[in-house]
Each structure stands twice: as structure tokens, then as C-alpha cells.
Amino acid sequence: MDGLSVVIVGGGSGLGALLAEMVVEAGATGLGIIDINEAAAEAALAAARGRGLPAVAARGDISSGPDAHAAFARMVAGLGRVDVLINCAAIYPRRPILEITDAEWDLENAINIKGTYHMMVAAVRHMQAQEPKGKVRGRIVNLTSVDAFKAHPQNAHYAATKAAVVSLTRSFAAHVAGDGILVNSVAPAGMATERARELGFLGELAKASPLGRGAEPREIAEWVLMTAGPKNSFMTGEQVIVSGGLI
């Protein structure tokens, strides 16, 4: 990530917070975090501030276009430019397929689809206007899920939103390719997080995976950094599926 200024949406916890640490370790020159929990976003900037890097946090309800664009404007004001946007924000409430309510559909769509869309629009408009670094003006990486590529009757509304983000990724990539902006997604398998342990999902992850375990968060984060970093100068509109052989 040498020489790149990075914004992570949903970077206050989970994989986003790990990525905040790792982009700093990998040489990012600035870090911004947008999260519904501004205190968590501030805490996740500790590594960047410890190295004296530009670091900015913003609370953002990304389901609202004006809020999402305002939060991104704070990133630009604090960092000067944004070279990389990583969209990690999502919600994952389980519900059997015949029991999903309108309210649950609306919330899933608002955060996972609309929120991702709003952040990509804000980033693209900014990136289109900035000078490129090498051949690339900017990179966007969306976190999707292996659930976008398989049946998931226990969480069909979540899986549907992640399939929608795959489609958005392709459409944005085609639209901005001529601007030198690369747009890709990374689709992780279920991760062996502390939250998964609390909810008792580890046995389910192990049973589903050909490797016999869930992914460690850092194993997923490494692929996000590869896709978002300067070693990627040509791949766009692609889905990097890190499923441990599941897909």
C-alpha cells in the first residue's frame, strides 16, 4: 500500500478494523474510517496516528446518500486525496427464507446495497478528478461473500444483497475503466471471528469447508490488500473468491 491514502467503510470493527491495522503496516500514507460508531472508528485509527500519519474518522449512516457523501467529503478534507476505498460495512441478521419481513429486507438493502452504492459514487466522483498515480487514478474493493454464489436458505436476504454488490461491482468497473479506476470485489468464506465463536458458528463453518475450518480474518485481509494495492494495475470488474474450496 506504499504511497496510497485509504478509506475503509465499516472500519471500526471486525475485518474492517483489522484492515485498518494492516494497511498501515503495508505502508499507507493516510487512513480514513467511516463507521456508524464514530468512537470505534477513532479507536481503529490508533496504528495510523501512532506513526504520525494523516488519520480521520467520520460517523456515517451510509444508507442515506447525503450522509454518505458528507462522510466521504470529511475523508477528502482530512486526507487530501483518496486512492483506495474499501467497502466493509454490512449487516448479517439470519432469518429462514419463508420468514423474512419487509423491515428486514429494507434494512439489508439499505446498508448492504444502497450504502455500498452511495460510497462508490462518492469515491468515483473524487477519483475521476484527481491525478493518477502511474496508470491508476483509484481503486475500489467491495467485500461481498461466498453466499452470493451459493444457495443460502437460512439467510437469503443477505445472500441476495451480496449478489447485488457483485453486479454493482461489474457495472461500476465497466463505467469507470476509461478513467483508470479499478473496481473489484473480494468474496470471503465464513470467518472464524470472535463473533462466530460467540454465536456457535465454528462447527458449521468447519463442516461446510473442504479445508475443515473457517477462514482466519487475516487470510481474507491479505487478498483485500492485494486487490486494493499497487500490485494490481490491470484487474477490474472481477470477483476474487476466497472460499477455501467451498465455491
Q: CA torsion angle for 124, 31, 113, 220 (degrees, to 10)?
A: 120
Cβ within 8 Å of residue 231, ≥6 positions away: none
Q: How is 2-35 classified by DSSP, letter by letter? A: TT-EEEEETTTSHHHHHHHHHHHHTT-SEEEEEE
**Count of CB atoms within 10 A of residue 150's CB?**
12
Q: How is 75-122 classified by DSSP, letter by letter? A: HHHHHS---EEEE---------GGG--HHHHHHHIIIIIIIHHHHHHH
Please give the positions annotated as active site.
Answer: 158
The rounded distance, in Å, linking the Cα atoms of 111 and 118 is 10
